[in-house]
Amino acid sequence: MFDRLCIIGVGLIGGSVARAARHYGLCKQIVGYGRPEDKHNLETAKKLGVIDDYYLQIEPAVSSADCVVIATPVASLESIFAALKPYWSETTIYTDVGSTKVSVVKAAQQVFGEVPDNFVPAHPIAGAEQSGVEASFYDLFLNRRLIITPLENTSKEALNKVQSFWERCGSVVSVMDVKHHDSILAATSHLPHILAFALVNMLGHKDEQSEIFKYAAGGFRDFTRIASSDPAMWRDICSANKSEIIPLLQQTREQLDTLQHLLENDESQQLLTIFAYANTARQRFLTQFEGNMSKSITFQVQPGGLLQGEARVPGDKSMSHRSIMLGSLANGVTHVKGFLEAEDALATLQAFRDMGVEIEGPVNGSLTIKGVGKHGLKAPKNELYLGNSGTSMRLLSGLLAGQPFDSVLTGDKSLSGRPMKRVTGPLAAMGADIKTTEQGTAPLYITGKSGQLKGIDYVMPMASAQVKSCLLLAGMYADGETSVTEPAPTRDHTERMLSGFSYPVTKEGSKVTINANGDLTASDIDVPSDISSAAFFLVGASIAPGSDLTLRHVGINPTRTGVIDILRLMGAKIEVLNEREVGGEPVADLHVVYSPLKGIDIPEHLVPLAIDEFPVLFVAAACADGQTRLSGAEELRVKESDRIQVMADGLQILGVDAQPTADGMVIQGGSIGGGVVTSHGDHRIAMSFSIAGLRANAPITVLDCANVNTSFPEFKDLVKRLGLDLVCEEA
């Protein structure tokens, strides 16, 4: 990209820029510049091979450089600009790495009058505990965010080149205006540094300091890591951005006062609410932002083992979503028990918080939702990010189509590839205005059509509970009746829960009908365990000789129990015990013991009733005697991954004769071998291949398992406790 790169200030950041540029082959020659007192440091940089040469005078350093990176503390920028001014070249690109941008721009204005158009202010959000060139490393910026803050006159060419330079160093580049950068960084970087410095300063001055530090553990270390940063640098950053930081310090003080007051008055419930909110918000930050940037999780599964004991798997995902949606729209307070604390359901929860609903928890699966009524949602300030969750996006599109405000729905890579026309098509027929990409995928741009939707009589071309539920939610805001006819029964949690909240909904054969003449009355919800999560253990115990397992409090709604019927047809021994009804949904304990399985032709009418369980049923088929044939399941191709192709590919790697077809698979049962398979980021695929380990004759490595957290974060611990040798590796 460049012939000669000049780094002004070769410390941790400047040195790392140089190392990255060299590592990724972005320039031919790298020189450093520093003051005479920096000579020793520059000498070290040269010895380490970070730079090719150095200068103590600015002219020879920058002459013939086609890119100059200023990596000195922000307080020095004005004097650096002044030194550069006599040698400023039109053909060179100048950029910086300062943590505050208003001050950098002001410094440039001070020296040049107008900021030169070939200066591109930038800020890599990366750092390390140590400082100095010795601590620099080439991948400091890899998968880290980098913000460029161009001005109106910044040259497009220079901007593009700086952006491309950082992208080639592995950074994730965002562009924003200077002031916005400083207000964001004040909250996410500058304030945390001040709090860390303040805490260590306070504790350090206490008499008993040695005692305190001696017993300080991980929490102290994590919280105060950034207090090890360069004090002079942080003094300069905080001074430069004080106008943004001071109001935040005031808010922090108020928050601490609130916590102190709650402690003094033993208001533990309120305290818990604040902690739980923070816990969920941090989780969301990790999945929405950090998760996209790095973290890969691999499951290493040793062959053999059996499943024994008893367990209660987490709450039903479909019902958890719906409990938030209907609880939020109800009049009154809804208490939810058994809520699934996993990423998908938490995405729905966050979306409703973003629309002004007050929700306390979750704490151990319990939530309190302060319903705002059918017309009480508020316009979200930002797009609603729904992660990996198809249910959230499709159901919300129906609900939001008839609101008096606009909204935008986004999701992760997998969700952004899933078909949305199946909902936006019929919603458009009701008068909704929703824009998708040309491929009919998210983001969804919804223009609220309050009071303008009309009911329709829709015959669904595919058996989909999400499409049905979406239209029923839209029907609550439409003029006249909205009816949905399904080609085969699909899960009916929306209809049941609507009735539980006293909202009129009628069912005649395969047709469900709703209209706008109703209101939701808050009602407590007890979410049973998710049969889709239980399915991994039903299959695991059925295929592993010696297994004997009881799964407690599992939802056995007849629209979800296809997996039990299919496994029983294959010869599985599953008993349904203690059947009871909890909050309008049937629940039971499931007892399963090992039994040799045989291959079958899976009856098509069971397909929608077991739609999410096929990945693990394919594993059962691979262990069965004879051939298993599935057809009529083309819907599997548009789930979190193409579950037909991905499972067939993985099973073949494990030595199983698995032939994909357009709408299913043909599997010749036999033995399962070992190997490395990938889940393609699909939670159910990751868990299914892990279960295969119980009957494999060699270790199985399952790549890309982070999304297990979308539906079953406890899976790895639970399956280990029950008898599978699984190790979770994070990188």
Binding to ligand SPQ by CB under 6 A, coded x per residue (else -) over 268-307, reads ----------------------------------------
Nearest approach, Cβ of residue 716 and ligand SPQ (Å): 18
Give, in degrees to the nearest 5, the angle at Cα 251 between 249 and 252: 65
Q: Is 341 in the site for ligand SPQ (CB under 6 A)?
A: no
Binding to ligand SPQ by CB under 6 A, coded x per residue (else -) over 119-148, reads ------------------------------
Q: What backbone torsions phi and psi does residue 444 show, to the nearest 5 degrees?
A: -100, 125
Q: Return the residue of 178, 326, 434, 465 that touches ligand SPQ, per CB under 6 A.
A: 465
| Element holding 573 (H helix, E strand) | strand 573-582
Nearest approach, Cβ of residue 498 and ligand SPQ (Å): 14
Nearest approach, Cβ of residue 668 and ligand SPQ (Å): 26
Q: How far is CA 235 from the centre of its chain?
A: 34
Query: Residue 563: how many CB atoms within 10 A of its CB?
Result: 26
Query: Residue 366: how many CB atoms within 10 A of its CB?
Result: 14
Nearest approach, Cβ of residue 446 and ligand SPQ (Å): 18
> How many residues in total does the chain contain?
731
Tell me the C-alpha distance between 452 and 479, whole Å: 7
| Element holding 500 (H helix, E strand) | helix 493-500
Query: Residue 277: how many CB atoms within 10 A of its CB?
Result: 14
| Closer to ligand SPQ by Cβ: residue 334 or 490 | 490
* Residue showing the smallest CB distance to ligand SPQ in the complex: 390
Q: How many residues bind ligand SPQ (CB under 6 A)?
A: 18
Measured CA to CA in angstroms, residue 647 lies from 68, 371, 578, 615, 708 at distances of 51, 42, 34, 7, 16
Q: Is 334 in the site for ligand SPQ (CB under 6 A)?
A: no
Q: Please report, as residue ranges, which positions from 366 to 425 form the binding site for ligand SPQ (by CB under 6 A).
A: 389-391
Sign of the four-CA dihedral 525, 531, 532, 533: positive
Q: Is 491 in the site for ligand SPQ (CB under 6 A)?
A: yes
- Preceding peptide of 699 cis, ω within 30°: no
Q: Is 318 in the site for ligand SPQ (CB under 6 A)?
A: yes
Q: Is 449 in the site for ligand SPQ (CB under 6 A)?
A: no
Interface region with ligand SPQ, contact rule CB under 6 A, candidates 70-78, 329-337, 375-383, 465-473? 465-473
Q: Is 709 in the site for ligand SPQ (CB under 6 A)?
A: no
State which amino acid sits at residue 202: M
Nearest approach, Cβ of residue 318 and ligand SPQ (Å): 3
Structure tokens at 393: 């996006």
Nearest approach, Cβ of residue 643 and ligand SPQ (Å): 8
Query: Residue 74: how many CB atoms within 10 A of its CB?
Result: 23
Pairing of strands 2-8, 27-33: parallel
Q: What is the DSSP string of 162-229?
A: HHHHHHHTT-EEEE--HHHHHHHHIIIIIHHHHHHHHHHHHHHTSTTHHHHHHH--HHHHHHHGGGGS
| Closer to ligand SPQ by Cβ: residue 402 or 681 | 681
| Closer to ligand SPQ by Cβ: residue 104 or 342 | 342
Q: Is 466 in the site for ligand SPQ (CB under 6 A)?
A: yes
Q: Is 711 in the site for ligand SPQ (CB under 6 A)?
A: yes
Identify the active-site residue in 182, 612, 642, 704.
Answer: 612
Q: Please report, as residue ranges, which positions from 603 to 642 form the binding site for ligand SPQ (by CB under 6 A).
A: 611-612, 635, 639-640
Q: Is 464 in the site for ligand SPQ (CB under 6 A)?
A: yes
612 a catalytic residue: yes
Q: Which residues are identified as catalytic?
A: 612
Residues that bind ligand SPQ (CB under 6 A): 317-318, 344, 389-391, 464-466, 469, 491, 611-612, 635, 639-640, 684, 711
